[in-house]
């Protein structure tokens, strides 16, 4: 599918939007579609090709006022976000727009939000210990840096207290 191909909205159910395109112009899964709604740009992400030249999309913004028959334009590519030095310390929404009020990002490189992970040989295999500042955790069950940490337990046993301590000590 080429950039700029037009489709029409045929169904809106909450944030799920079905769009119909001309035969042979169906966008790929994860491609971004755009439309103008109340003066704002609304981005739809293609999640499924449902047949009959239709795609099922997820709206990445409010859908109030969206109606059947509205025109939608394909970008011909997935949602891209800025990466690199210019994006360090900045806050973005899911479509790569800055939310921190510091103006536009002057990034030279943009990557799609859906990409394959790096190969295992490019990933770090060191097991550095993450010092939490909570002596009981550091001694009995140390956490590895970059790994996943979960807190399981019944109600009122202190999960939130431990998480707050970790945030205070690590951040």
CATH number at residue 14: 2.40.10.170
User: Would you say residue 94 lies in a domain?
Assistant: yes
Instruction: Specify whether the CB–CB gap between 81 and 72 falls below 8 A.
Output: no
pLDDT at 81: 94
User: Would you say residue 107 lies in a domain?
Assistant: yes
Note the pTM of the prediction, 2 decimals.
0.72
pLDDT at 111: 94
pLDDT at 121: 84
Residues 19, 70, single domain; the answer is yes
User: Would you say residue 1 lies in a domain?
Assistant: no
String of b and e for 84-121 (b: at least 16 CB within 10 Å)?
Answer: eeebeeeeeeebbeeeeeeeebebeeeeeeeeeeeeee
Residues 108, 137, single domain; the answer is no
Per-residue pLDDT of the chain (171 residues; tens, 9 = 90+): 567 799 999 999 999 999 999 999 999 999 999 999 888 999 999 999 998 999 999 999 999 999 999 999 999 999 999 999 999 989 999 999 999 999 999 999 999 999 998 888 887 777 888 888 889 889 998 988 877 888 899 999 999 998 898 888 887
Query: Which domain, by its residues, includes 151?
Result: 129-170
User: Would you say residue 52 lies in a domain?
Assistant: yes
């Amino acid at each position: 599918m080429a950039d700029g191909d037009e489709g029409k909205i045929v169904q809106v159910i909450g944030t799920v939007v079905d769009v119909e395109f001309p035969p042979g112009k169906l966008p790929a899964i994860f491609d971004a579609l755009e439309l103008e709604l109340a003066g704002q740009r609304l981005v739809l992400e293609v999640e499924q090709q449902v047949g009959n030249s239709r795609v099922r999309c997820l709206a990445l913004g409010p859908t109030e006022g969206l109606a059947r028959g509205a025109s939608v334009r394909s970008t011909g590519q997935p949602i891209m976000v800025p990466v690199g030095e210019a994006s360090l310390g900045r806050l973005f929404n899911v479509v790569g727009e800055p939310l921190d009020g510091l103006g536009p990002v002057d990034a030279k490189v943009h990557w799609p939000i859906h990409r394959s992970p790096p190969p295992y040989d490019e990933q770090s295999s060191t097991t550095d210990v993450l010092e939490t500042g909570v002596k009981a955790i550091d001694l009995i069950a140390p956490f590895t840096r970059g790994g996943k940490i979960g807190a399981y337990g019944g109600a009122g046993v202190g999960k939130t207290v431990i998480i707050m301590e970790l945030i205070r000590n690590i951040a």
